[in-house]
């Protein structure tokens, strides 16, 4: 299952928009409802398994 599918499966009821932005140079960013939740460029590392879901969980609580 892709990250987008996993996010929508769990949080479709609160996500108005979802953007996964892969780009050159190793950047990977995840924004939900216009809010940047994760940036590989800023953290200088890949997200760990479940990390993005955890960030969204904190956002909706």
CATH fold of 3-60, please? Glutaredoxin (3.40.30)
The tokens for 23 are 């780009």
| Predicted local confidence at residue 51, as pLDDT | 92
Residues of the chain with pLDDT under 50: none
For the chain, what's the residue count? 61
Q: How far lies 32's CA from each of 25, 35, 44, 56, in Å?
A: 22, 5, 20, 8
Tracing tokens 């398994």 back to the chain, one arrives at 49
Listing from the earlier edge strand, what are the strands of the sheet with 28-32?
18-22, 28-32, 35-39
| Annotated domain spans of the chain | 3-60
Angle of helix 3-11 versus helix 51-60 axis, rounded to 10: 30
């Amino acid at each position: 299952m892709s990250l987008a599918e996993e996010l929508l499966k769990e949080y479709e009821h609160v996500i108005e928009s979802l953007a996964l932005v892969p780009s050159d140079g190793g950047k990977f960013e995840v924004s939900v409802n216009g809010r940047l939740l994760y940036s590989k460029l800023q953290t200088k590392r890949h997200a760990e398994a479940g990390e993005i879901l955890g960030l969204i969980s904190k956002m909706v609580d």
